[in-house]
Every structure is written in structure tokens, then in C-alpha cells.
Amino acid sequence: MSPSFPATGRCRPSASNAAAIHFVATDPPSTAQTYQLLIEVAAPVRVCVGRLGTFDFPAGLYAYTGSARRNLEARVSRHLSTKKKMHWHIDYLLAAPGVRVCEVRRHGAAECVVNQQIAGEIPVKGFGASDCRAGCGSHLKRLG
């Protein structure tokens, strides 16, 4: 199934905590190893993304594609947590003020396959794609 997120607009649910996040199962949990986060950046924000560098993120909606070999829900819960060690590129963006996850989707297809099905602009080259061998350029896309 091809993932689709709204190209414009704002997140609908109030996502002040993980319990408010809308989790969409596009594939059965037993086969899902890939997830996508629909992220709202409410106002322009400058974020230091670890060793990748410091970048400006315009306000808008973004889609981040990631994967977990085991326990996808635990990985997503970690991303949604406010108390964590910064490890992945997405951790830095999600810790920024005015940034929130409003939807999570899980997929059975490979991370790069799912990522390449989302149309959008690449805001930061290499973001979330340190181990990508499919030429994605980034696993974060700005939708609008």
C-alpha cells in the first residue's frame, strides 16, 4: 500500500503526549518493521542535528521514515519520549520547541521503499539516511 500524508495543513489531533498519537496500521504488526512519523513544525526552527550540523527547518509538515528490526512500538515510543539520550537524527528535531509527531504509520515494506513512495522536498541531505544504500538522499521529507 502506498503511504499518503496530507500535503498541506496542520496536524489534527492534539499530540501533547504519546497517548494522543494516532497510530495507523497499514500492514499487520507482525510484518511491520518500517514506520513513518508525520511531524508538524509549528514555526521555523534552527536545530543542531548532532554531527550532521545545524539546519533551519521551515514551518510545515514533514514525514520521517525509519525502521526497527525488533519491537517497532518500542522504537516509536522512544522517539515520542521527552527524556532520552540524543542518538538518531530524528531525536534532535523532535526535541526542538514547537515540533510534534501527530501520526505514526507502520509498514511491512523496506524502509527505503516506503520512503521513496512519499513525495516531498529533502530539507537536509543525509538526515536519517546514514546507512541508506538505495540513494534516498534523506529519510526526512518536507510535505508542505
Q: What are the pLDDT digits (tens) for 116-134?
A: 999 999 999 999 998 888 9
φ, ψ of residue 46 to 5 degrees: the values are -105, 130
10 Å Cβ neighbour count for 18?
A: 15
pLDDT digits (tens, 9 = 90+) for 42-95: 999 999 999 999 999 999 999 999 998 888 888 888 888 888 889 899 999 999
Q: Report the pLDDT value the prediction gives residue 22, as an integer from 0 to 100.
A: 52
**Confidence check: pLDDT of 7 > 50:** no
CA distances from 110 to 42, 49, 56, 61 (A): 30, 25, 29, 23
Q: Report the pLDDT value the prediction gives residue 11, as an integer from 0 to 100.
A: 56
Ranges of H-type helices in the chain: 72-80, 89-94, 111-116
Global confidence as pTM: 0.82
Q: Report the pLDDT value the prediction gives residue 82, as an integer from 0 to 100.
A: 85
Cell digits of residue 83: 527524556
